[in-house]
Amino acid sequence: MESIRITGGIPLAGTIPISGAKNAALPLMTCGLLTDDRLVLSNVASLADLATMAQLLAQHGIAVEPSGRTLSLGGRITNATAPYDIVSKMRASILVLGPLLARVHEARVSLPGGCNIGTRPVDLHLKGLEAMGATIKLEAGYIDATAPTGLHGANIVFPFVSVGATENLLMAASLADGLTTLKNAAREPEITDLATCLIAMGANIQGLGSDTLTIQGVKTLHGATHAILPDRIETGTYACAAAITGGKILLQNARAADLGAVLSSLREAGVIITDSPDGLWVERANGLHGVDIVTEPFPGFPTDMQAQFMALMAVAEGASMVTETIFENRFMHVPELNRMGARINAHGASAIIRGVKSLSGAQVMATDLRASFSLVLAALAASGESVISRVYHLDRGYEAVEAKLRGCGAHIERIAAL
């Protein structure tokens, strides 16, 4: 296992290219199951999670050929089982369920267990597919789903917003017989990106960007070429890097419109963000102020930015409160940040952060993808040296972290685990 060593205290200055979004690429890759034609995805980041998805699709019969930043997907479904060893590595594997059922009328997908940010059930995915005519049994740790005569349209009202369930049902409904309405659907930019690709493949979807999606099923989908949108979470993360180090960075290709409440919360904290034709300029001229945030579905403040924003608030003037409403166990970074001198008290779903003047380098441990980056941010701002272990979490969703940060002057290197 590798670690990352950072010597902090350097204001970052330079340009960071923002990669294609991981959480858009994952469902988009599963669209390869929806057609026998070739699907070409461009602006694809090189990430461990996308390699895992390619492995899953390959064992279903869909070859995923990389060429630079493009993936070309093609082939026929030869196997409808998503096995435990891949699903247990990556929960987004559940996204093959809807496409497999729609295409070959059966799917056997290992039940994803809980993970270190929460229990993360998949009941909304299953209820939605049942409403569309699937029969689902849970047996020996697997979801056994069949729809011998195919899926049909349904009127589905989600009791709460789920990104994954919206994506699974959107893909399934595209090939179902008749009209499907998804109400209280997720509105994340990644959903709109998925719908845009499905439309390019011949799907009939209305309501993009709203909480009601209407899908008139079609008999077949065809091949298409689609460019993946820039990663809004990577954008927000590096914006925090500029802010926490008192630097100035151009986030190349970043799109302000996709940031939702992250933009207003950063501005409220004193971060200057300017839109330009090349992307977003982010700088901190003066001090940071404490700002309260509550995580919510888009356009609210994303749970995937909570840990990074908390690191920023750790060195802001005054107190701030962070409330996590999406996942029940997403404060594992708190004790690690406190080891670096932060003053954070977490209780239940909320954490109070009392800003400190400075953090100090320490040996800390990454616990999940976004928590890992909160430690990187704290280390970039801290005095002295930090070593962050278990950085494989980081590699799941951030491309070329060391190169991007080093390009802005950071002292960062990957080392063998201590």
Residues engaged in binding ligand EPZ (CB under 6 A)? 23, 26, 91-92, 118, 120-125, 162-165, 302-304, 326-327, 369-370, 397
What tokens does 131 get?
């409403």
At 126, which helix (H) or strand (E)?
A: helix 123-131
Bridge-based pairing state of the strands 106-110 and 142-146:
antiparallel
End-to-end CA distance of the chain: 9
For ligand EPZ, the closer of residues 284 and 370 by Cβ is 370
Query: Least CB distance from residue 279 to ligand EPZ, whole Å?
Result: 21
Query: Least CB distance from residue 178 to ligand EPZ, whole Å?
Result: 23
**H-state helical runs in 150-292:** 163-174, 189-200, 232-245, 261-268
Query: Least CB distance from residue 326 to ligand EPZ, whole Å?
Result: 5
For ligand EPZ, the closer of residues 23 and 35 by Cβ is 23
Distance CA 325, CA 293 (A): 11
Query: Least CB distance from residue 114 to ligand EPZ, whole Å?
Result: 9
Query: Least CB distance from residue 405 to ligand EPZ, whole Å?
Result: 19
Bridge-based pairing state of the strands 319-323 and 350-354:
antiparallel
Residue 202's region, left for phi above 0, alpha for psi from -120 to 50, else beta, is left
**b/e per residue, 326-342, with b = 16+ CB within 10 A?**
bbeebbbbbebbbbbbb
For ligand EPZ, the closer of residues 368 and 402 by Cβ is 368
What tokens does 274 get?
């300017």
Phi/psi for 165 (5° steps) reads -65, -40
- Alpha-carbon 64 to chain mean position: 21
For ligand EPZ, the closer of residues 248 and 396 by Cβ is 396
115 is known as an active-site residue: yes
Distance CA 172, CA 167 (A): 9
Question: Which residue has the CB atom at the shortest distance from ligand EPZ?
Answer: 164
What tokens does 82 get?
């998503």
Q: Which of 31, 115, 197, 408 is catalytic?
A: 115
For ligand EPZ, the closer of residues 12 and 191 by Cβ is 191
Task: Yes or no: say if 266 and 241 are a contact pair by the CB < 8 Å rule.
Answer: no
For ligand EPZ, the closer of residues 187 and 404 by Cβ is 187
Query: Least CB distance from residue 47 to ligand EPZ, whole Å?
Result: 10
Query: Least CB distance from residue 287 to ligand EPZ, whole Å?
Result: 29
Distance CA 174, CA 187 (A): 18
DSSP, res 223: -
For ligand EPZ, the closer of residues 40 and 349 by Cβ is 349
**b/e per residue, 256-278, with b = 16+ CB within 10 A?**
bebbbbbbebbeebbbebeeeee
Task: Supply the residues annotated as catalytic.
Answer: 115
